[in-house]
Structure 1
C-alpha cells in the first residue's frame, strides 16, 4: 500500500499526523507530508483511518 498527500488540497489540519505520526508529519510550511510512502503493514489501519478522517480528502491510497 502506498500513500500520498495532495499538496493542493491539504490545508494543514494535522488530523493525519495525530492519527499516524509514524507515516505523516507537518512540513515547515504547516502542511502534511508523507514520511513513509510505502506504508508498513503495522500502520495500514491507522493510515486508512487518516484517509477517512482527512477533512479535505487530500490523502490517497494506491
Structure 2
C-alpha cells in the first residue's frame, strides 16, 4: 500500500499526522510531508483510518 496526498485539496488540518506520526509529519505551515509513501504492513490499519478520517479527502491509498 502507498499513500498519496492531494496538496490542492489539503487544508492542513493535521489529523493525518496525529493518526500516523510514523509516516507523516507536518511542515512549518501545518501541511503533511511524507518521506516514504510506502506503508509497512504493521501500519496498514492506522493508514486506512487516517485515509478514512481525512476531513478534505486529501489523503488516499494507491
Where does the alignment leave 5 or more consecutive residues of structure 1 unmatched?
Answer: none
Number of equivalenced pairs: 62
Matched residue, 2:3: 3
Q: How does 1:5-44 map to 2 (within 5 A)?
A: 5-44=5-44
Q: CA deviation at 1:28?
A: 2.0
Q: CA deviation at 1:36?
A: 2.3
Q: How large is the RMSD of aligned CA atoms in angstroms?
A: 0.9
User: Following superposition, which runs of at least 4 residues in structure 1 exceed 3 angstroms of deviation?
Assistant: none
Where does the alignment leave 5 or more consecutive residues of structure 2 unmatched?
Answer: none
Q: Give the Cα separation in 2 of the matches to 1:53 and 1:19.
A: 9
TM-score w.r.t. length of structure 1: 0.91
